[in-house]
Amino acid sequence: MKILVACEFSGIVRDAFLARGHDAWSCDLEPTEREGPHIQGDVLSVLDQGWDLMIAHPPCTYLTITGNKWFKPEFSSRFPNRPAQREAAAEFFLSLGNSIIPRVCIENPVGIMSTRWRKPDQIIQPYQFGHTEPKKTCLWLKGLPLLVPTLIVEPEYITSRSGKRMGAWYFLPSQSPERQRMRNRTFQGIADAMADQWG
**pLDDT per residue rounded down to tens, the chain (199 residues):** 999 999 999 999 999 999 999 999 999 999 999 999 999 999 999 999 999 999 999 999 889 887 777 667 777 777 778 889 999 999 999 999 999 999 999 999 999 999 999 999 999 999 999 999 899 999 999 999 999 999 999 998 888 788 877 777 666 555 556 666 666 789 999 999 999 999 9
> Using alpha carbons only, what angle is made at residue 198 by residues 44 and 117, rounded to the nearest 5 degrees?
50
pTM of the model: 0.89
pLDDT computed for residue 89 by the predictor: 96
Q: Which of 33, 40, 42 is nearest to 13 (CA)?
A: 33
pLDDT computed for residue 171 by the predictor: 64
Give the 3-state DSSP-derived string for 5-69, with helices as H, strands as E and coil as C: EECCCCCHHHHHHHCCCCEEEEEECCCCCCCCCEEECCHHHHCCCCCCEEEECCCCCCCEHHHHH
> For the chain, which residues make up each domain, given as ranges?
2-198
Under 8 Å between Cβ of 111 and 64: yes
CA distances from 198 to 16, 68, 70, 103, 179 (A): 11, 33, 37, 9, 30
Phi and psi for 42 in degrees, rounded to 5?
A: -80, 120
31 exposure class (CB count in 10 Å sphere: 0-12, 13-18, 19+): exposed
* 3-state SS, residue 102: coil
pLDDT computed for residue 185 by the predictor: 85
Tell whether the torsion through CA atoms of 18, 1, 40 and 129 is positive or negative: negative
Tell me which fold the domain 2-198 belongs to. Answer: Rossmann fold (3.40.50)
pLDDT computed for residue 173 by the predictor: 56
pLDDT computed for residue 161 by the predictor: 80
Half-sphere exposure of 63 (CA within 13 A, CB side): 24
DSSP secondary structure code for residue 146 in this structure = P
